[in-house]
Chains A and B, each alone.
Chain A
Amino acid sequence: MKKTVEIPLGSQHISLLEPIRFRFHCENEVIRDVDADVGFVHRGVEEACASRFEFKQVGYVVARVCGLCAITHSLGYTLAVEKLLHVSTNERIKYLRMLMVELDRIHSHMLCLAHTSENAGFEALFMQIMNDRELIMDVQEALSGNRVQFDYISIGGVNRDLSVEAAALVLRNLALLEPKIDELFERFTNNWSLSLKYRGIGALSLEQAYMYNTLGPLARAAGLVTDVRLETDDFPYAQVGFEIITERGGDIYARNLVRLRELKQSMQMVRNIVEGLPEGAIQEKTKGKPEGEAIARVEAPRGELMYLVRGNKTSILERVRIKTPTFSGIPAMIEIFKGSNFADAPAILASFDPCMSCTAK
């Protein structure tokens, strides 16, 4: 006789922002096995990029793969195409792109922390973090003209310059946000339901993190040194004060801490970028059609995002391949679920910050 009980979670659930379905095989309270089904939002973006849209439009199409990391998607694609077109951008464009990516990271990490605290039953903190997050959303709206889907990056440059008023707004809102993040540190380290309860739950060891090829905050919480900002030299991250952040333990508590410390660091980087913005044009001249094959890697809020673009000297590309961070995290996620309590499942899931729209494309 079968010993386990099957409990489904999803595809629609209050703790889920997007459709994903799990089938937990539980023995009493303990999860023994998990089936994950992630393909609910598959739309076929890759195929459409290589058949329906011209290469100049694709940057705005791939931004619609995911709303949370839209800017990193368009940045990854643009970097790959610029390699094919042999365009090199000036320092100002690089700084402006970095600025938007770091702002995006701040708002994405804050959403994840809000979600984690909501799944811990801490609804008031969820509301508080979402309220603080609006400061960053205001900045994004002032800089790009849209709150979420900012089509900021174009091939060869950026679409909008940073005005003096917008720069002042960035600095003002960051100064307002800084004490609130410090307060969150206090909450996430000393509050019982967010720190002690989460210590040791959903733990991923360093060997497992290495073996299952995890990326982003998930790997860095386990102590694995992996960050594209450190590994590539597409952007002058060292100049704006980037240092890799790692924690030990690999549990939910460590992941929260990694996100909080990255928030602090991203804010400092944004401040450095705005203050040390070099002069220059915001658009470089581009000509020709992409030919050949190129790979670009960028650090999305959830980890490494990789683009492969292949062109054949026509305006329609031959192939666009997107490898997203959550996709790499799924084996580790299934491994962590095994052996943990069923009641912890939503909290573990939220701490992963999974992005199904990215995964299914």
Chain B
Amino acid sequence: MSFWSKWRKRAPWILHYNAGSCNGCDIEILAALSPRYDLERFGVLNSGNPKQSDIFLVTGPVTYRSRERLIELYMQIPEPKVVVAVGACTATGGVFRGMYNVEDGIDRYIPVDVYVPGCAAGPQLIIDGVMEAVKIWERKTQEIEEPFKLFGGMGKIGEALSRRNTLEVKDEQNRREP
């Protein structure tokens, strides 16, 4: 796993889903991928397949019909995954907040790591958001790659407890001495 992580770090592929936005942020994502802003220089590639993606770019306040697809796509992305909410309406519902077919933002359905503000969010902001997401993604990768041993973990907890106990004992001794 650690053998691949060196290369994986430079290839965060994105999956883009429009959950009811006005197209404004979607064309800005395309503009961010285009040569002027060139998000692709960081190894970011727009992939249409959730099973090959790492970063999930969502635009739009979640509409009633797109929420199932949103969760389905989120579940299909393999761990570690990062969600970026692009645009004001994705964060809170924006101008669409309270309309009858709108669910007021995606954080009611899936956990969000990065919020990108703006209506429509500019390409510079989108690049900033994606780079922030790459950092979070690297941290999540490290957390997953750390070996997890139940009994070793218990040992660690035991050590921590005993250390705390000795500290408490010392504290009590300190208190008694003067």
Binding site for B on A (CB under 8 A): 11-15, 17-19, 39-45, 47-48, 52, 60-61, 64-68, 70, 111, 127-128, 130-131, 133-134, 137, 146-149, 355, 357
The interface on chain B, measured as residues whose beta carbon lies within 8 A of the other chain's beta carbons, has a size of 43
Flag the segment in B21-29, B134-142, B151-159, B162-170 that touches A: B21-29
- Tell me if B148 counts as interface (CB < 8 A to partner A): no
A244 to B50, CA, bound (A): 44
Determine the distance from Cα of A45 to Cα of B22 in the docked complex, in whole angstroms.
11
**B122 in contact with A147 (CB, 8 Å):** yes
Is residue B102 within 8 Å, beta carbon to beta carbon, of the partner chain? yes
Q: What residue of chain A has the Cβ atom nearest to residue B66's Cβ?
A: A40
Complex Cα distance A12/B17, Å?
7
- The 0/1 profile, CB within 8 Å of A marked 1, for residues 37-78 of chain B is 000000000111110000000001101111001000100000
In the assembled complex, 13 residue pairs joining A and B whose CB atoms fall closer than 8 Å, in A order, are A12-B69, A19-B66, A19-B69, A41-B21, A41-B66, A47-B100, A133-B31, A134-B31, A134-B34, A137-B31, A146-B120, A149-B120, A357-B22
> Does B101 interact with chain A (Cβ within 8 Å)?
yes
List 7 extra interface pairs beyond A11-B69, A48-B96, A133-B31, CB under 8 A: A12-B69, A14-B47, A18-B18, A42-B20, A130-B30, A134-B34, A357-B21
Say whether, besides A42-B101, A148-B120, A14 and B46 are in contact (CB < 8 Å): yes
CA–CA, A355 to B60, complex, Å?
A: 15
Closest A residue by C-beta to B119: A149
In this assembly, does B99 line the interface, its C-beta being within 8 Å of a C-beta of chain A? yes
Contact B26 A18 (CB under 8 A): yes
Known: A39-B65, A134-B34. A66 touches B98 (CB 8 A): no
Instruction: Provide the residues of chain B in CB contact with A149, threshold 8 Å.
Output: 22, 24, 119-120
User: Is there an interface contact between B99 and A41, defined as CB atoms closer than 8 Å?
Assistant: no
On whether the beta carbons of B23 and A355 are closer than 8 Å, the reply is yes
Residues on A with beta carbons closer than 8 Å to the beta carbon of B144: none
**B23–A68 CB distance below 8 A:** yes
Do residues B27 and A148 form an inter-chain contact, with CB atoms below 8 A? yes
Minimum CB–CB distance from B71 to chain A (whole Å) comes to 12
Judge whether B63 and A130 touch: CB under 8 Å: no
Q: Report which of A43, A68, A127, A128 forms a contact with B99, defined as CB distance below 8 A.
A: A43
Chain A to chain B: the 10 pairs with minimum beta-carbon distance, closest first: A14-B48, A67-B24, A130-B34, A67-B23, A148-B120, A148-B24, A44-B99, A131-B35, A67-B22, A134-B36
B110 at the interface (CB under 8 A from A): no
Output the least CB separation between B128 and chain A (Å).
16
Q: Determine whether B161 belongs to the interface, using a CB cutoff of 8 Å to chain A.
A: no
Residue pair B63, A43 in contact (C-beta under 8 Å): yes
Would you give the shortest CB distance from B38 to chain A, in whole angstroms? 9
Whether B95 is near chain A, meaning CB under 8 Å from some CB there, is yes
Instruction: Report how far A147 CA is from B28 CA in the complex, Å.
Output: 9
Query: What are the residues of chain A within 8 A of B23 when measuring CB–CB?
Result: 17-18, 66-68, 355, 357
B27 with A17: CB separation less than 8 A? yes
User: What's the minimum C-beta distance from A35 to chain B, rounded to whole angstroms?
Assistant: 15
Set of chain B residues within 8 Å of A70, measured between Cβ atoms: 22, 24
A111–B17 Cα distance when bound, in Å, is: 18
Query: Known contacts being A40-B63, A48-B99, is A64 close to B34, with CB within 8 Å?
Result: no
- The residues of A that contact B17 with a CB separation of less than 8 Å are 12, 19
Write out the residue numbers on chain A whose beta carbons fall within 8 Å of the beta carbon of B101: 42-44
Q: Is the CB of A64 within 8 A of B95?
A: yes
Contact B63 A41 (CB under 8 A): yes
Partner of A67 from the list B35, B50, B66, B120 (CB cut-off 8 Å) is B120
Q: How far, in angstroms, from A11 to B98 measured CA to CA in the complex? A: 24
**Residues on the A chain within 8 Å of B28, using CB:** 147-148
Chain B's closest residue to A10 (CB) is B69
Q: How far is the CB of B57 from chain A (nearest CB, A)?
A: 12
Give CA–CA (A146, B96) in the complex, Å: 20
Q: What residues of chain B lie closer than 8 Å to A64, measured between beta carbons?
A: 22, 24, 89, 94-96, 119
Using A14-B46, A40-B65, A41-B63 as known contacts, say yes or no to A131 and B36 having CB atoms under 8 A apart: yes
Q: Separation in Å of the A39 CB from the closest CB of chain B?
A: 6
Find out whether the CB atom of B63 lies under 8 angstroms from the CB atom of A42: yes
How far is the CB of A36 from the nearest CB of chain B, in Å? 14
**Distance, CA A111 to CA B22, complexed state (A):** 15
Expressed in whole angstroms, the Cα–Cα distance for A254 and B81 within the complex equals 43
Give CA–CA (A66, B176) in the complex, Å.
Answer: 74
Binary CB contact string for chain B from 73 to 117 against chain A (1 if under 8 A, 0 otherwise): 100000000000000010000111011111000000000000000
How near does chain A come to B161, taking the closest CB pair, in angstroms?
Answer: 49
Q: How far is the CB of A111 from chain B (nearest CB, A)?
A: 6
* CB–CB B18/A130 < 8 A: no
A68 to chain B: which residues have CB within 8 Å?
A: 23-24, 27
- CB <8 Å contact, A12 and B122: no
Measured in the bound complex, the distance between the Cα atoms of B21 and A149 in whole Å is: 12
Chain A residues with CB under 8 A of B64: 42
Which residue from B25, B27, B46, B65 sits with its C-beta under 8 Å from A111? B27
